């Protein structure tokens, strides 16, 4: 059963003035530069790492998470080493139903985390469950990043999947401002919880051969990497 929790809506933590959602083209890579004013002045809570390591249903300022499955001790979770950013090509408003379907069948094709266009995050599965996502890290052409360290190694068994809905019917439609705001908190929450460094955040297009019409997850993965968050070290940025 879905439990809705009080929403901690603090003033926007990230100055989004001048954010050009179309800044990246379809060939963007991890070397692309995000606009300089994105997340330039955000500040995480002093107890951010403790919140990220908490069991139950931790809530973070600036982020709304609806838990379909409570968290346990992160030491007992699957050994997550990577984060893969997906765009589901589903319509606005579909994140909740997709997350509910995932919760009923955790190993089906899908992901642990679904992000609605308003920024609401649905945590659909247990931390020990392994949803089916990605295509086996079959990319080895170094088009976006050096694939010598990803080829056949960044796979579902060691990678958290995060899906962003809303790019339907136009697959090239960028993530919404609400999704970006949520993502810039969520990704650091995941990094702290599972001690994942920034260079292990990947767009789906970077590690698998995908739809040529757009670069799936590339803008969002680049923004996350450019935060240069170091788990256990940069509790505030």
Whole-number Å distance between alpha carbons of 169 and 173 = 9
For domain 48-226, give its CATH number from 3.40.50.300, 3.40.50.1100, 3.40.80.10, 2.40.400.10.
3.40.80.10
Phi, psi angles (nearest 5°) of residue 159: -130, 130
> In the chain, what are the domain boundaries?
48-226
pLDDT of residue 17 exceeding 90, the answer is no
List pLDDT tens digits, range 39-78: 434 678 999 999 999 999 999 998 999 999 999 999 999 9
Whole-number Å distance between alpha carbons of 102 and 46 = 33
Whole-number Å distance between alpha carbons of 130 and 110 = 10
Question: Taking a C-beta distance cutoff of 8 angstroms, is the pair 124, 113 a contact?
Answer: yes
Question: Taking a C-beta distance cutoff of 8 angstroms, is the pair 127, 121 a contact?
Answer: no
Q: How far is CA 223 from CA 29, 66, 72, 189, in A?
A: 11, 24, 28, 15
List pLDDT tens digits, range 81-132: 999 999 998 899 999 999 999 999 999 999 999 999 999 999 999 999 999 9
Question: For residue 89, what pLDDT is reported?
Answer: 87
pLDDT of residue 36 exceeding 50, the answer is no
HSE-up of 7 (CA within 13 Å, CB side)?
9
The arrangement of strands across the sheet holding 113-115 comes to 65-67, 121-123, 113-115, 159-164, 82-87, 201-203
For residue 105, is the peptide bond before it cis, meaning its omega torsion is within 30 degrees of 0?
no
Nearest to 88 by CA among 210, 237, 193: 210
Whole-number Å distance between alpha carbons of 165 and 173 = 10
pTM, two decimals, is: 0.85
């Amino acid at each position: 059963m879905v439990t809705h929790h009080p929403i901690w809506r603090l003033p926007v933590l990230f100055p989004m003035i001048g954010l050009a959602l179309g800044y990246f083209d379809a060939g963007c890579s991890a070397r692309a530069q995000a606009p300089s004013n994105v997340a330039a002045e955000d500040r995480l809570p002093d107890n951010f790492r403790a919140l990220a390591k908490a069991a139950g249903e931790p809530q973070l300022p600036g982020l709304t998470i609806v838990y379909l499955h409570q968290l346990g001790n992160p030491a007992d979770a699957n050994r997550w080493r990577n984060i893969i950013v997906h765009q589901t090509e589903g319509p606005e408003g579909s994140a909740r139903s997709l997350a509910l379907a995932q919760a009923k069948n955790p190993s089906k094709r899908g992901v642990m985390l679904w992000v609605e266009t308003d920024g609401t995050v649905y945590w659909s599965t247990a931390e020990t469950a392994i949803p089916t996502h990605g295509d086996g890290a079959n990319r080895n052409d170094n088009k976006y990043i050096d694939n010598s360290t990803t080829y056949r190694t960044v796979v579902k068994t060691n990678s958290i999947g995060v899906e962003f809905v809303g790019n339907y019917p136009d697959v090239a439609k960028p993530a919404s401002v609400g999704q970006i705001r949520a993502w810039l908190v969520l990704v650091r929450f995941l990094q702290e919880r599972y001690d994942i460094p920034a260079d292990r955040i990947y767009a789906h297009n970077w590690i698998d051969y995908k739809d040529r019409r757009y670069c799936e997850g590339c803008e969002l993965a680049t923004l996350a990497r450019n935060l240069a968050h170091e788990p256990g070290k940069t509790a505030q940025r």
